[in-house]
Amino acid sequence: MRLRRAGASALLIECRDGDEVEAWRRLVTTRRDAGDLQVIDIVPGARTLLLDGVAPGTDALLAAWPPPSPATSAPAEGALVEVPTVFDGDDLADVAGLWRLSAEATIARLAATEFTVAFCGFAPGFAYMRGHGLTVPRLDAPRPRVPAGSVGLAGEYCGIYPTASPGGWRLVGRTSSSLFDVRREPPALLTPGTRVRLVAA
């Protein structure tokens, strides 16, 4: 773990991998809820955790804590959300080809994966989910419009578009689940740390 400054009132915790980010996210959230830490936003990234709106001296406070160990923290702590998914995406055959699997085996692999939301970004409610253990390159040119509810893969992540938008992820399926609703608390269905299963519908 290494601390980097991000302005007068923010710190970036740099981690080895996504597991360490998740371990730090849980620790920092627990400490904030217990009143040990003052922070406005806790924003996980792929390899970092941003603490925005911290008090002076927070860097010393973090350095004094025993670092969380991903190996000893419970892997299945977050809520489990099942997302009914129709696996008929336009890029399913391409993904199967990249993975050297049949389309059926590709779907089976995705449906058998327990994903964890690593971080959000790009749009409100867009979650970067880890867990399928393979990577997929982005499309060379993004599609001008990806329909809301599209399930896509890019890099090591799986994501679901909350609203229609341009996008370069390879589409493997779709869901009618509501990913983001401002009348809900929290408004995002898939929040950092949430476990997710794409259940074939």
Q: Is 18 helix (H, G, I), strand (E, B) or coil?
A: helix
- Binding-site member from 16, 30, 53, 88 for another protein (CB under 8 A): 53
Under rule CB under 8 A, residue 186 binds another protein: yes
- Binding-site member from 38, 45, 168, 201 for another protein (CB under 8 A): 45
Q: Is the peptide bond before 186 cis (omega within 30 degrees of 0)?
A: yes
Alpha-carbon span 153 to 134, nearest angstrom: 10
- Binding-site member from 12, 27, 37, 160 for another protein (CB under 8 A): 12
Under rule CB under 8 A, residue 187 binds another protein: yes
Give whole-number Cα distances, 56 to 8, 37, 49, 88, 169, in Å.
8, 11, 18, 51, 40
* Least distance between another protein and beta carbon 92 (Å): 25
- Binding-site member from 95, 110, 120, 146 for another protein (CB under 8 A): 120
First to last CA, the chain: 41
Under rule CB under 8 A, residue 169 binds another protein: no
**Span interacting with another protein, options 48-56, 134-142, 143-151, 168-176, rule CB under 8 A:** 48-56
Under rule CB under 8 A, residue 166 binds another protein: no
Query: Quick one: DSSP state of residue 67?
Result: P
CB contact burial 148-164 (16+ within 10 A = b; e otherwise): bbbbbbbebbbbbbbee
The residues binding another protein (CB under 8 A) are 4-8, 10, 12, 40-50, 52-53, 119-126, 128, 163, 180, 182, 186-188, 191-192
